Amino acid sequence: MTPTIFSHPDRKMPTFRPFKALAHFRKLIKDKEDTEQVFHIFESLPRKGFMDDARAFVESAKGRQLMASEPYLPDLLDDHAWIDKLPEGSVGHAYVTFMRREGLSAAGLVAEADKMGRPRFDDQVQWYANRLRDTHDLFHILTGYGRDALGEQCVLGFTYGQTGNYGNFFIAYAGGYEVKRGVKANAPVFGAIRQGQRNGKASQAIIEQDIRALLAEPLDAARARLGIGEPTLYHEAHRAYRSRGIDPYNFLASQAVAA
């Protein structure tokens, strides 16, 4: 059902709490798979312009059309049987391959967010916020950043460039510091994150796309249409790690071998 009101009267806006964000980041560092902490960080670092951006999109012709026609995104993205029927080389095929390899699902991301216990409202703000959550793994596919430690920070840098959300900025650069501190290599960690941020700002907003149509699009064509730049410094960082015998997808194993 299409939400008819912009913001429910019971909706309370979160307050800016940077020290709480830092506490949750420390928990995330201890277990990078504890995705719930990411949502706590986002809630602790709300952006003043979020509501204005949400209103501008949901009141646009494109936003109204998507609210009325697009399926609930987690259901769409987890319908692998439908996506498997899309052409080879499509965004959807790359997405499903990635999700199966990593053991991920869109519903799983929703479950992590729901652990916070925040009330959900049938309003347009909720619909817009859900798009930010549900498209995260699509960002990996479209940008070319993997789920390695640096790749995750680069995706968040890209997302910050797209949305301006402070939580993305905080985790991207604080996480980049942890990568730089923990693995000694002449790799352009912060350069790669900044490039991701620039690429995100320069490209079209992914959350404003028709996701069903985007999944059917050839991956290279989608990247070109959206104006997403090549992650050259991310690849340079991977080369720097591998030249020193470090697996960028498994820093802990690489450190153990080195020891």
pLDDT tens, position by position, 131-148: 999 999 999 999 999 999
Rounded Cα–Cα distance for residues 201 and 154 (Å): 13
**96: which 2 tokens?**
């499903």
Contacts of 217-224 with C-beta under 8 Å, sequence gap 24+, read 217/90, 217/91, 218/87, 218/89, 218/90, 218/91, 219/89, 219/90, 219/91, 219/93, 219/94, 219/141, 219/142, 220/89, 222/91, 222/142, 223/142
Cα maximum dimension of the chain: 59
**211: which 2 tokens?**
């996701």
**Residue 19: pLDDT band with limits 50, 70, 90:** very high
Pick from 168, 153, 149, 151: nearest CA to 207: 168
User: Which residues sit opposite 218 in a β-bridge?
Assistant: 90
Supply the angle between the helices 36-44 and 106-114 in degrees, to the nearest 10: 60
pLDDT tens, position by position, 146-174: 999 999 999 999 999 999 999 999 999 99
pLDDT tens, position by position, 74-103: 999 999 999 999 999 999 999 999 999 999
User: Which residues sit opposite 258 in a β-bridge?
Assistant: none
Between 111 and 251, whose confidence is greater? 111
- Give the rounded percent of residues in the chain with a pLDDT score beyond 90: 85
pLDDT score for 129: 94
**Residue 259 clears pLDDT 50, i.e. is over it:** no
Mean predicted confidence (pLDDT) in 28-53 = 91
CA distances from 61 to 57, 67, 75, 90 (A): 8, 10, 24, 27
The full length of the chain comes to 259
**Residue 213: pLDDT band with limits 50, 70, 90:** very high
Mean predicted confidence (pLDDT) in 118-139 = 94
pLDDT score for 255: 44
Residue 61 exposure: Cα atoms within 13 Å on the Cβ side = 0
pLDDT score for 78: 98
Between 236 and 118, whose confidence is greater? 236
**219: which 2 tokens?**
């991956």
Mean predicted confidence (pLDDT) in 49-76 = 96
pLDDT score for 248: 92
Rounded Cα–Cα distance for residues 155 and 27 (Å): 20
Cβ distance 170 to 233 under 8 Å? no
pLDDT score for 49: 92
pLDDT score for 42: 92
Amino acid at position 171, single letter: I
Contacts of 130-133 with C-beta under 8 Å, sequence gap 24+, read 130/73, 131/73, 131/207, 132/163, 132/165, 132/207, 133/39, 133/109
Residue written as token pair 């080369």: 239
pLDDT score for 253: 46
Average pLDDT, the chain: 93
Mean predicted confidence (pLDDT) in 214-224 = 98
pLDDT score for 145: 97
Residue extents of the structural domains in the chain: 18-258
- Give the rounded percent of residues in the chain with a pLDDT score beyond 70: 97
